[in-house]
Amino acid sequence: MTHSHDALDPPELTPTAKAELLAALARILPKEALLHETEDLRPYECDGLSAYRRLPLAVALPERVDQVQAILRLCHERRVPVVARGAGTGLSGGALPVSQGVLLSLAKLNQILEIDPERRIARVQPGVRNLAISQAVDHLGLYYAPDPSSQIACTIGGNVAENSGGVHCLKYGLTVHNIQRLELVTIDGELLTIGTEALDAPGYDLLALMTGSEGMLGVIVEITVKLTPKPERAQVILAAFDDVVTAGAAVGAIIARGIIPAGLEMMDRLAIQAAEDFVHAGYPREAAAILLCELDGANAEVTEQILVVRRILTECGATEARTARDDAERLRFWAGRKNAFPAVGRISPDYYCMDGTIPRKRLPDVLKGIDDLSRAYGLPVANVFHAGDGNLHPLILYDANRPGELERTEELGGKILELCVEVGGTITGEHGVGMEKIDQMCVQFRAPELSQFHAVKAAFDPDGLLNPGKAVPTLHRCAELGAMHVHHGKLPFPELERF
């Protein structure tokens, strides 16, 4: 593994210390809610980034908030690391266990506690599935807007931890824009309320700080989400292009015309063919790229915008622009996009899903750059991404059984992320940093910035027990990484030389 870290492999507990820890946990949880036998731990050894696997010391499955508090208190007292886990659908290794730590699964905290249609909010526990919220309020004409592709399985607690988005985030925002309040437990067992049920809260915006903090600052036990009224009408245009760069340019042209689609997604030929074979969504298999542009709102507004967008797509060189005939076809178009990841999994032994974000205007340049890198490394790349907000999800196809291919794939992924930074973007949009992108954090941020991140971490978790070794690299790690990429005898980031 190229992403090893001492925090993930701390000194092994003595048999006595391990037995005492398990006995103390057993006093908090019923027998069936505490796992420690190897075969019981296997399902928890990784998240969606299955290239990295590690067995925890134990898995705790509390079903009440007071049990979460007691577990964290115990681990704090004994200096035992804790990794919180939702559904395990994350793609950055954020829920990778610590070998001598406790994996804290929030799966049993899965209740919708309150639905208030007048205030358009719902109070839910972290183990509630994303899609379950929309299903519970559908009869009220409401829904929960963020819709990750894994929404049928992923949990709202994990969505908050990673600040997940989805195909409709262009218009309706990420998780951070769709929640109002959090209840979370600190490492020493204190229950905190962050945010408010009002539209704004006084003081620092700690709600935004917690959203996307990847389980490093606290364990979320309750979320108050915003509910959005279902639009009067939603319609999708599918546009085909014979060139990926041309399709990328069309994205900017739509936004430049002052239209904000509910969703604006792009797929290249490899992804199109895989999705079509899997879902039979009606995609044009011969196209080099397709755009899915969904417009929603009042009926008259959607009618007008469809005409404008079709005109723009034609002007930008679309070989075909097809409007969904009915809601069933609209859902089929989206099913192809949302199943693109598993579809690609059918055509390759393994794939590595990247997640970077770039300014929209640089989309054509970056697509060409990804293609050049793909050719240089001899690894196919299927591009599936939220084109409207510049959030890329290149899928690198590889075979882990071939010696050295995983390492080459990781190197290619790192180059793609560095390309995103080079054009003014970031190394992640919604998957988080976890273990996957920790080295690229050294490219994205300077030493003083990383020091501030560590200071925030220390304010909430001074002993570094919550999800250690993830998301924020040590300055020493960045210095070592820089030393491997010396140019003309100098580190790429001179300030690292001071640490």
Structure tokens at 207: 């709600």
The whole-number pLDDT of residue 6 equals 63
Q: What pTM did the predictor assign?
A: 0.92
Q: List pLDDT tens digits, range 250-265.
A: 999 999 999 999 999 9
Distances (CA, A) of 428 to 71, 150, 356, 431, 438: 31, 17, 4, 6, 11
Name the percent of the chain lying above pLDDT 90.
88
Nearest CA among 160, 39, 156, 52 for reference residue 96: 52
Q: List pLDDT tens digits, range 354-374.
A: 999 999 889 889 999 999 999
The whole-number pLDDT of residue 313 equals 97
171, pLDDT greater than 70? yes
* H/E element, 40: helix 38-41
Q: List pLDDT tens digits, range 140-168.
A: 999 999 999 899 999 999 999 999 999 99
pLDDT class of 51 with cuts at 50, 70, 90: confident
Q: How many Å apart are CA 311 and CA 321, to the nearest integer?
A: 9
Structure tokens at 69: 């508090």
Strand 58-60 and strand 102-105: the pairing is parallel
Amino acid (1-letter code) at residue 349: P
Task: Supply the Cα-derived Rg of the chain in whole angstroms.
Answer: 23
E strands within 269-335? 289-297, 320-323
For the stretch 446-455, contacts whose Cβ atoms lie closer than 8 Å and that sit 24 or more positions apart, written own/partner, are 446/493, 446/495, 447/475, 447/478, 447/493, 447/495, 447/496, 447/498, 447/499, 448/495, 450/475, 450/478, 451/475
Structure tokens at 111: 């209740």
Name the percent of the chain lying above pLDDT 70.
95
pLDDT class of 494 with cuts at 50, 70, 90: very low
Query: How far, in whole angstroms, is CA 229 from its chain's centroid?
Result: 25
Structure tokens at 383: 């591009």
Q: Are 392 and 356 in contact (CB under 8 A)?
A: yes
Structure tokens at 394: 């290149």
485, pLDDT greater than 50? no
Q: List pLDDT tens digits, range 403-446.
A: 999 999 999 999 999 999 999 999 999 999 999 999 999 999 99
Residue 361, Cβ neighbours under 10 Å: how many?
16
Q: What number is the average pLDDT over the span 170-195? A: 97
Q: How many Å apart are CA 437 and CA 307, to the nearest integer?
A: 41
Number of H-type helices and E-type strands within the chain: 17, 20
Question: What are phi and psi for residue 488, nearest 5 degrees?
Answer: 55, 35
Q: What number is the average pLDDT over the span 452-462? A: 97
Residue 252, Cβ neighbours under 10 Å: how many?
19
Listed in sequence order, the residues at least 6 apart from 450 whose beta carbon sits closer than 8 Å to its beta carbon are 441, 442, 472, 473, 475, 478
Inter-axis angle of helices 299-315 and 244-256, to 10 degrees? Answer: 140
Residue 422, Cβ neighbours under 10 Å: how many?
14
| HEC readout, 378-443 | CCCEEEEEEHHHCEECEEEEECCCCCCHHHHHHHHHHHHHHHHHHCCCECCCCCCCCCCCCCCHHH
Query: How far, in whole angstroms, is CA 21 from its chain's centroid?
Result: 32
| Ramachandran region, residue 12 (left: φ > 0; alpha: ψ -120 to 50; beta: rest) | beta
Domains in the chain (CATH in brackets) are: 6-105 (3.30.43.10), 112-229 (3.30.465.10), 233-342 (3.30.70.2190), 348-422 (3.30.70.2740), 441-498 (no CATH)
Q: How many Å apart are CA 190 and CA 187, to the nearest integer?
A: 7
Residue 464, Cβ neighbours under 10 Å: how many?
16
Structure tokens at 36: 């420690």
**3-state DSSP call for residue 498?**
helix
Nearest CA among 281, 159, 270, 168 for reference residue 220: 159
